[in-house]
Structure 1
């Protein structure tokens, strides 16, 4: 439901539009419950996330509910912070997991990656993945494996032919 449909005040409309702009430009968004976090640890988390291309904002559940799909309302219980960005979600998930392990806060509720809903367990699983560059190297190795194996087999066949011809030459030389 868009804010203009309910006759909201202009500042609420502006706030809703700002949230929409943040969400529309993001590849991922992770929702977390920041209840109990003090300001120094919040700033520490924000700085860690910023280094990895993510942003951290506290939002009102009602305003965020307007921007998210209807099935996301279950995530909007308690105090909510959204962590979003357009970089590598795996690196951001690792930062969140490391910070949560050390400070026990924030509690991950779930989120969205490229428009698909993910659970809190999925965020933890994302943190276990290797970095994007390592995954690219693994994919490249997998794609190159059949070609390199074919080259090895062909090289072996040529080497076998050379050995046979060399043995035949040595035999002819001994006979002569």
Structure 2
């Protein structure tokens, strides 16, 4: 029996509504297994994520299953935490990767980025990308490169003309 077919108690309905509201404004959601994380470790991760505009919440698999597409049920095994937000997912992936390298926890199961499913390997690949501002700078540099090169070529042509005129002037001064 699908969980949606059962009638929820009011307190469970409010939890389901809260999860839906949190995820409705999020650009990404990463699902992780937080098994073995103690309170100080969890607090440290939450504080680090909060600096980048992300949130970390422990949720029941059954409640999160209601908010996710049907093909996401394989993510909901074991103890589940959701990491979500509206900021730069690359920065958040880097934080998770660094924290996991230090503590071996949490274990990323997968997630969603702008409505598309991503695997745990994809989250690791996201962590390898440069930050959004760096990517914008690279793109801007790439777009400006032809203009900069054109200015350089034009400047070189003007410089060459000045050198030729200076050589002609020097030659005429020697003849005179």
Give TM-score, length-normalised by structure 2.
Answer: 0.91
Give, in angstroms, the shift of residue 2 of structure 1. 8.8
Secondary structure in structure 2 of the residue aligned to 1:11: helix
Q: Distance in 2 between matches of 1:17 and 1:38?
A: 28
Between 1:51-60 and 1:165-174, the stretch displaced more is 165-174
What's the CA shift string for 1:122-149, capped at 9, x where partnerless? 1112222222222222222111111100
1:14 aligned residue: 14
Secondary structure in structure 2 of the residue aligned to 1:22: helix
Report whether the alignment pairs 1:168 with 2:161.
no
Give, in angstroms, the shift of residue 170 of structure 1. 2.5
Unaligned runs of 5+ in 2: none
Give, in angstroms, the shift of residue 169 of structure 1. 2.6
1:132 aligned residue: 132
Contact 2:3 2:62 in 1 (8 A): no
2:38 aligned residue: 38
Q: Distance in 1 between matches of 2:18 and 2:116?
A: 21
| Alignment root-mean-square deviation, CA | 1.8
Q: Distance in 2 between matches of 1:168 and 1:70?
A: 81
Give TM-score, length-normalised by structure 1.
Answer: 0.91
Q: Distance in 1 between matches of 2:173 and 2:41?
A: 84
Unaligned runs of 5+ in 1: none
